[in-house]
Amino acid sequence: MKFDCFHRAELSKVKAFLLLSLLVMSLSFTPLNSMALSSDRDQPINLEADAADIDDLKGISIYTGNVVLTQGSMVIKSNKLTLYNDKNNELEKAIAVGTENKLATFKQRPEGKKEDFKARSITMIYYLNKDKIHLIKKAHVWQAGDTFSGNKIIYDTKNETVVASSVKKQDGKPASSGGRVKVTIQPKSKNK
């Protein structure tokens, strides 16, 4: 009986700590708005995870276990999400990591578009100040029926450009067809 009361008290403390931590982190997410679409910028940021490890002094927050970050139409899902704040406590970089079987995913509705921009890879590095997402290993991007895949894809969210590269062998030559960049572009009549 004493253990059960102690367990409940400790659980309440953990819940209170997590809620406070999420509140603190949501306040430091303000620069994340610069990467979001204008319709998303005014939306609150919500973050869910199985566990959180927040170090305010180092400016690093690590969320693990079924992590879901949302802001308006933007959704990032991963196994692990690490957020890095600069010396002004503003978010400068987010790294989402999936697994071989469950890749990290990114989704957002571009301004004036009818379909979402979608991406997935094992690792995603979002450089907020540069408005770029680096998708590394098993990288795939979809937008308006067009698809891109490769070992590494860099997506410029501001200019909506994609740069993709393939896997290379140790001798520097391109790998077999399984590691090459693949692109599918739909006819303009289908994109409208």
Condensed to tens digits (0 to 9), the pLDDT of residues 107-162 reads: 988 777 888 889 999 999 988 788 889 999 999 988 878 888 889 999 887 777 87
Task: Give the single-character DSSP code of 99.
Answer: -
Nearest CA to 120 out of 153, 85, 74, 87 is that of: 153
Q: Phi first, then psi: what are they for 191, rounded to 5°?
A: -80, -15
Write down the number of H helices and E strands in the chain: 3, 12
Q: Phi first, then psi: what are they for 25, rounded to 5°?
A: -65, -40
Domain 2-191 sits in CATH at: 2.60.450.10
By CB atoms closer than 10 A (0-12, 13-18, 19+), residue 64 is middle
End-to-end, the C-alpha distance of the chain in Å comes to 66
Find out whether 121 and 98 touch, Cβ atoms under 8 Å: yes
pLDDT band, very low/low/confident/very high, at 188 (cuts 50, 70, 90) = low
The whole model's pTM is what? 0.70
E strand or H helix at 40: helix 38-41
User: What ranges do the domains of the chain cover?
Assistant: 2-191
Say what percent of the chain tops pLDDT 90: 32
Task: Quote the CA–CA distance of 37 and 40 in Å, as a whole number.
Answer: 5
Strands 60-71 and 74-85: antiparallel
pLDDT of 4 higher than 50: no
Question: Residue written as tokens 């566990």?
Answer: 51
By CB atoms closer than 10 A (0-12, 13-18, 19+), residue 49 is buried
Find out whether 113 and 136 touch, Cβ atoms under 8 Å: no
Token duo for residue 154: 């860099």
pLDDT of 72 higher than 90: no
